[in-house]
Amino acid sequence: MSTATKTNHIGHKISRIRELRGLKQESMAFELNVSQQTVSKIEQSETVDEQMLDQISKILGVSAEGIKNFSEEAVFNIIGNTVNNHDNGSLFNYYPTFNPIDKLIEVFEENKRLYERLLASEREKIELLKNKG
């Protein structure tokens, strides 16, 4: 596979961003209302339908253009240029441009909403099975 093909492979970029976000295929499938296998196929596809890309970008919290322009090399360059590995590494101070507590609460709330939706779905399944029996 050539480098040009690899860097333009939208599915691989989606997969990598999803992994960096700590999101599983199953969770993304749930959000998209598709199967996990469909997410897998999307991530294996070189191109992705614009409407699907918009939906995925919202789930990943990145613009569609951000996905298209994603470069793993750029991520590693940013990390390499902002973190140094000197003996005084323990003195390294990190001053985020956001409040980490707010970010934790935001992630917690997002996970809570996802869990509640999964729980509601499972309850619906149980009710359907009860009604069949």
Which pLDDT score, from 0 to 100, does residue 21 have? 83
Which pLDDT score, from 0 to 100, does residue 75 have? 58
Q: Whole-structure pTM over 0.85, yes or no?
A: no
Which pLDDT score, from 0 to 100, does residue 91 have? 46
Alpha carbons 1 and 101: distance in angstroms, whole number: 43
Domain 1-78 has CATH 3.90.870.40: no
Alpha carbons 92 and 54: distance in angstroms, whole number: 38
Instruction: For residue range 96-105, list pLDDT tens digits in order.
Output: 566 667 777 8
Which pLDDT score, from 0 to 100, does residue 107 have? 82
Which pLDDT score, from 0 to 100, does residue 95 have? 54
Alpha carbons 80 and 72: distance in angstroms, whole number: 12
Which pLDDT score, from 0 to 100, does residue 4 have? 45
Where are the domains positioned within the chain? 1-78, 94-133
List average pLDDT for each run of 10 residues in the chain, which is 133 residues long. 59 90 90 94 94 92 85 60 51 57 80 89 90 79
Alpha carbons 4 and 90: distance in angstroms, whole number: 40
Which pLDDT score, from 0 to 100, does residue 9 have? 92
Which pLDDT score, from 0 to 100, does residue 63 have? 86
